[in-house]
Amino acid sequence: MNLIVRTVVVGFVVSVGFGSASAFAQKASCSCATAYHGASNPVGSIVSVNGDVMVSQAAGYGPAKAGNMLDSGSRVVVGAKGSASVAVGGCNQDVPASSSLDVSRVEGNICLKLVGSEQTAAIQQSGGAVGGFGPPEGIFSGALLATGVLAATQDDDSAVSR
């Protein structure tokens, strides 16, 4: 098999293997969305704070207090022994312990995305058979196998220099 053709085939197999794995990733959606009214005003505020709660500010993270203003790009991070409540537009969102709330602008809306501790710290199974061997692992294994077969069947007799 010609070296160029072999290289193209290997590249294609590997790109399909790695590219398709991202199709199985879950997109995180907004917990709540509300209309965006322009950059002139803050988009919301922290209503209540209990325990260990931090909020992103211009100079980094600082302790959160009821009444802190939130803008697009703000993040509220709640510790293991804390909780908070946030109001943004028509959304009232509770932020439980060991979680965070991201405030972002998505097209013409403000998106509140709650990320809980089970989403940030847990290793999620891929949904496969026994041992957790699912579609992403299968695609990667197939690409690896195809690469090995192509490497093992190369024609060593057509060397460039003799």
Nearest to 58 by CA among 46, 44, 73: 73
Query: 0.75 cut: is pTM over it?
Result: no
Residue pointed to by tokens 């980094």:
60
Cα 12 to Cα 18: distance, rounded to the nearest angstrom: 10
Contacts of 152 (CB under 8 A, 6+ apart): none
Summarize the confidence of residues 42-58 as an average pLDDT: 92
DSSP assigned state of 153: T
Per residue in 59-118, pLDDT (tens digit) is 789 999 999 999 989 999 999 999 999 999 889 999 999 999 999 999 889 999 999 855
pLDDT band at 16 (very low <50, low <70, confident <90, very high): very low
Residue 126 is predicted with a pLDDT of: 46
DSSP assigned state of 24: G
Residue 98 is predicted with a pLDDT of: 94
